[in-house]
A and B are shown apart, each in its own frame.
Chain A
Amino acid sequence: MPDSTINRAAQKDALFPLQRLQAYAQGLPVDRLPCVPIVGNTAARVLGVTVSSLRNNGKILADAQIASYRRFGYDNIRVFTDLYTIAEGMGAQIRVPEDETAFLAEPAIQNVSGISGLRPVDPCRDGVLPEQIEAVKRVVQEVGNEVPVTAALTCPFTNASFLIGAVNLSRLVLKDPASVHHLCKLSLESALAYAEAIFNAGGTPSLTDAMSSSSVISPKQFEEFSYPYLKTLVDYIHSKSRSATLHICGKTSPIWDKMADTGADCISIDNDANLLDAKKKIGHRVRLMGNVHPSAIMLQGTPQDIRREVCKCVIAAHDNPKGFVVASGCSLPTETPFENIDAMLDAVREIGYPVSVGLLEEIVNNS
């Protein structure tokens, strides 16, 4: 284990994340529940650089993620700047504001006639992917022996929406399913290539698929256009003997079973979903991760609010048969106050393990 004097937050914890996660998975005693406030571009604030400086510079991105991990002491590093890195490599135009998260300016193609011109990415060459991979490599070198290092991977259906536009894709779902599959297959090829590069850098892909949300498409459409591609990705991750985390935001309760059927080991849900219900429905099959509101609570709340909300989540899911990770429902807004992220971890430390529900209910009732 590395020298803990350089790890500020680790001084507050008895175990390093990898030790904690391993013990927790085996049902052995741990100091506290695993905890992951999903830090993305907030890492730029920790390092004191602009958001745009992270995206295409492996060294700065790695330094920011390492600094943030050391500052807060959470249980998983996720290299993530925005959802569009693969689509950009395939021709989508991305706008990169100086100090805010990048976003999609124009999809790669305007209609299905453009599909034949699309090619899967080469992660060693296209767009910002080489630098994102470089970041994974550096983070793994620096702290990979104490904390899991993952990199966000935008899944095929969501990536397809960046290739042809979300509204276009939604229409094609009913009008031209073959073209949707075509776009998803190209996106899958890209995703697999990028996943391989992440593995080669020593990291693990972390799956994210916003457009597959039941806020957008029906459970039946999920089954046809999202599920098969997610399953292929999960199988690939398992072939490398790593565990797979799948995040879908918005409403997800109608597709929980299917999400578990992908084989994912951990499912990350947001505040539009109910942890207690998820535990009852799929808790015997998958670990759950969530779901403190990233904006209403983590961004806008006080440390007191966060303590209360963490307690509520823990009451709901601490006894999830396959385990529970206290987390934000989705990646945190860039300007989330540091003291709120500290508050999440401090609450989890205060709660400790094993969990005493009576104590937590008192905290919730008194706040």
Chain B
Amino acid sequence: MSDNKEQTFFTALSDAVLDMDEVKVEEIAHRVIKEKIDAYRAIENGLVDGMNRAGQLFEDEEYFIPEILLCSDAMYAGLNILNPYINREQQRTRKKVVIGVVEGDTHDIGKNLVKTLLDAAGFEVVDLGRDVPPAQIVNAAIAEHADVIALSTLMTTTMDGMASVIKILQESGHRDAVKVIVGGGPISQSFADRIGADGYAPSAPAAVKLLHKLFKDSIYA
């Protein structure tokens, strides 16, 4: 298979994700399998590339929540088809992220976007939902052997829940086992520093970059 032809497939996948065209993504994904194109690269250079471009359009305020959700649906449709064809060596264990909205807050649109883009970027994401008590977040992270805890809140009144998570981690001796990143409207870098978090990002695409930085670009365990 020529690189050129492969690239045509990757571009088509990427475009179809960006166009929110679930049916087309599935169609191309099936052809990728038939043509024996490397599924792993089709995911990375096709599906994930499309999702990254969608994330950029979101940052530029050309795409809004509805568009991003449908792009991610299209991406997942492709992943479902291609994932079984990834070979063993490529299936290295990925860094695991436990994500949730802290107790008292039910705003979950932003958290869902972060989850989707982290997923697209190759992280394994466990979603605890919204309004999650600090102890439950820590317990889940321990049970899941998570590498990262990602905390979201949009309300000033619930920010303290983030500090509680870190405190519980410290007191139970698990602080060094996991990185904690925080985000959401009222959160800032200085707040993250103050509570001893490992990082803050202002948007979902920036959250991906942040984790790449924290893991020095090796997101595989």
Contacts and interface: CB of A to CB of B under 8 A. Distances in A.
Interface of A: 100, 103-104, 166-167, 170-171, 173-175, 214, 216-218, 221, 254, 295-296, 299-300, 333-335
Given A221-B64, A299-B156, A167 B109 contact: yes
A214 B65 CA distance: 9
Interface in B79-134: 104, 106, 108-109, 112, 131
B157 A299 contact: yes
A173 B108 CA distance: 18
A217 B157 contact: no
Interface in B40-80: 61, 63-67, 69-70, 73
B106 A104 contact: yes
A299 B64 CA distance: 30
A175 B73 CA distance: 11
A217 B156 contact: no
Contact of B65 (A217, A296, A300): A217
B21 to A, nearest CB: 11
Contacts of A167: 69, 108-109, 112
A342 B57 CA distance: 43
A20 to B, nearest CB: 31
Contacts of B70: 171, 174-175
A333 B109 CA distance: 21
A295 B186 contact: yes
Contacts of A214: 61, 64
Contacts of B104: 100
Given A166-B108, A170-B65, A216-B65, 11 more contacts: A103-B131, A171-B73, A173-B66, A175-B70, A218-B64, A218-B66, A295-B157, A296-B186, A299-B157, A333-B155, A335-B157
Nearest to B72: A171
A174 B157 contact: no
A104 B70 CA distance: 24
Contacts of A103: 106, 131
Contacts of B157: 295, 299, 333-335
A174 B106 contact: no
B186 A217 contact: no
B156 A296 contact: yes
